[in-house]
Amino acid sequence: MTESVLIALGSNIDRQRNLPRALALLHRDSRWRVLAESPIYETPAVGNGPQPDYFNAAVLLETDLSPADLRRALRRIEARLGRVRTADKFAPRTIDLDIVFVKDRQIALNGGLLPDPDILDHPHLAFPLADIAPDWIFPGVGLTLNQIAESLHPSAAEIRKMTTDARPNIKMLSHYGTDQIFEAEDNEVYDPEFEELIRQILVRIGEDPEREGLKRTPLRVAKAYDFLTSGYTTTVAEVVNNAIFTDGCDEMVIVRDIEFYSMCEHHMIPFFGRVHVGYLPQGKVIGLSKVARIVDVFARRLQIQERMTNQIADAMVDILAPMGVGVVVEASHLCMMMRGVQKQNSSTITSAMRGLFKKDARTRAEFMNLIRER
Ligand code: ZN
């Protein structure tokens, strides 16, 4: 079911960068469509002593995700932007991405109510929302968002609309710089539902989730999984980020020994190894480091080696339209090694050939020779 949802954004740590980054990430995600984006407002922080002012905004999107799944996706974007959730709901933050209103619905989500009753009292929520969904009626109250915003009469000190000139530029985000998310901070709250599932696994395997060493394990696992499965929320277009150049070069380009770590979809246990990618350009080449990023997009998911190999080859074809592409993956599978099914030093090799690499034995042989050379 496709639903229209309003998301409220807020940032008061490095807000000049973080708010536009969050907007950029929302625009790029294929699991929803952004229909409207509000102007940015500057507002003072609510509660908890002096702290920096906020940038606030709101986005209207359309999605097939359930509110719970959408919430999880938003938490991942927050984590990428360095957000650490704590029990203190007023603490300064790099970014806040909250579902505040699902059209024509009144629901409970993770202990809170939707639409968020705070909309009725807080200009930093009501104003941006009224800009993009003026006619939505707040159930039970019977007022439109526009009427709610008009009823609040905030002073200029309470909310200030940023002019278009003052609007920060959207800088492209490399989330690889902000992946230090494996450690758990005191009081951190990350994804309570996911953490509860991990706690249940611990109990089921005969552990005591309350013992010292395991207390914050569910939190760490939740964060680790977000990272290890970040391929689901990353697109090839995003990582390539226009690093494609026109070039007359028609020699084979090879990027060899790209390290990767993935998890097999049958056991959710790691497999890892190296990827070799070669292509014959046809007017377009790509920055070498980007090839490794493309590998990560497909490795950081639950995978089978054959599919990952094909996906990397197809992505190269899509973005470069080259004369041909070859991908070879050598991997060790812990799910086999740990059970003794596979000898410790053996590896599984898969390949995917496209275009000339498939049709022309000499091209293929040249590629295979070049990746074997030591
Ligand atoms: Zn397996």
Residue 178, pLDDT score: 37
Both 8 and 156 in a single domain?
A: yes
Residue 123, pLDDT score: 93
Active site residue 305: yes
Both 216 and 275 in a single domain?
A: no
* Residue 280 within a domain: yes
Catalytic pick among 78, 303, 305, 311: 305
The whole-angstrom separation of Cα 284 and Cα 246 is 5
Q: How far is the CA of 228 from the centre of ligand 1 (A)?
A: 16
Q: How far is the CA of 348 from the centre of ligand 1 (A)?
A: 12
- Distances from the Cα of 55 to the Cα of 44, 84, 160, 171, 201, angstroms: 9, 18, 10, 16, 40
* Residue 170 within a domain: no
Cβ–Cβ under 8 Å, residues 366 and 253:
no
Q: For residue 25, what is the domain's CATH number? A: 3.30.70.560
Active site residue 51: no
Q: How far is the CA of 265 from the centre of ligand 1 (A)?
A: 6
Q: How far is the CA of 261 from the centre of ligand 1 (A)?
A: 13
Active site residue 335: yes
Catalytic pick among 106, 193, 266, 306: 266
Domain boundary among 161, 188, 210: 161
Both 142 and 222 in a single domain?
A: no
Residue 171, pLDDT score: 31
Total domain count for the chain? 3
Which tens digits make up the pLDDT trace of 316-367? 999 999 999 999 999 999 998 888 776 667 789 999 999 999 999 999 999 9
Domain boundary among 230, 251, 272: 230
Both 16 and 151 in a single domain?
A: yes
Q: What is the 3-state secondary structure (H, E, C) of the chain?
A: CCEEEEEEEEECCCHHHHHHHHHHHHHHCCCEEEEEECCCEEECCCCCCCCCCEEEEEEEEEECCCHHHHHHHHHHHHHHCCCCCECCCCCCCCCEEEEEEECCCCEEECCEEECCHHHHCCHHHHHHHHHHCCCCECCCCCCEHHHHHHHHCCCCCCCEECCCCCCCCCCCCCHHHHCCCCCCCCCECCCHHHHHHHHHHHHHCCCCCCCHHHCCHHHHHHHHHHHHCHHHHCCHHHHHCCCEEECCCCCCEEEEEEEEEEEECCCCCEEEEEEEEEEECCCEEECHHHHHHHHHHHHCCEECHHHHHHHHHHHHHHHHCCCEEEEEEEEEEHHHHCCCCCCCCCCEEEEEEEEHHHHCHHHHHHHHHHHHCC
Q: For residue 190, what is the domain's CATH number? A: 1.10.286.10
Both 261 and 202 in a single domain?
A: no
* Residue 171 within a domain: no
Catalytic pick among 122, 175, 276, 333: 333
Q: For residue 282, what is the domain's CATH number? A: 3.30.1130.10
Residue 11, pLDDT score: 92
Residue 172, pLDDT score: 31
Q: What is the mean pLDDT of the chain?
A: 87
* Residue 300 within a domain: yes
For 304, the token pair is 């089978």
Domain boundary among 161, 193, 212: 161
Whole-prediction pTM: 0.60
Both 121 and 9 in a single domain?
A: yes
For residue 153, give its domain range. Answer: 3-161
Both 23 and 63 in a single domain?
A: yes
Both 148 and 7 in a single domain?
A: yes
For 136, the token pair is 């939505």
Cβ–Cβ under 8 Å, residues 11 and 95:
yes
The whole-angstrom separation of Cα 329 and Cα 372 is 12
Both 350 and 254 in a single domain?
A: yes
Which tens digits make up the pLDDT trace of 96-116? 999 999 999 999 988 889 999
* Residue 98 within a domain: yes
Active site residue 264: yes
Q: How far is the CA of 338 from the centre of ligand 1 (A)?
A: 10
Residue 153: how many other CB atoms lie within 10 Å = 8
Both 62 and 119 in a single domain?
A: yes
Residues of the chain falling short of pLDDT 50: 165-181
Residue 276, pLDDT score: 97
* Residue 320 within a domain: yes
Q: How far is the CA of 300 from the centre of ligand 1 (A)?
A: 15
Amino acid occupying residue 169? N
Is the peptide bond preceding residue 115 cis, with omega within 30 degrees of 0? yes
Catalytic pick among 51, 150, 267, 282: 267
Residue 166, pLDDT score: 45
Both 271 and 346 in a single domain?
A: yes
Q: How far is the CA of 328 from the centre of ligand 1 (A)?
A: 19
Active site residue 265: yes
Backbone angles phi, psi at 106, to 5 degrees: -120, 115
Cβ–Cβ under 8 Å, residues 21 and 169:
no
Both 119 and 187 in a single domain?
A: no
* Residue 75 within a domain: yes
* Residue 34 within a domain: yes
Q: How far is the CA of 214 from the centre of ligand 1 (A)?
A: 26
Q: How far is the CA of 203 from the centre of ligand 1 (A)?
A: 23
Cα 130-136-137 angle, rounded to 5 deg: 115
Catalytic pick among 78, 124, 195, 264: 264
284, β-bridge pairs:
246
Residue 133: how many other CB atoms lie within 10 Å = 22
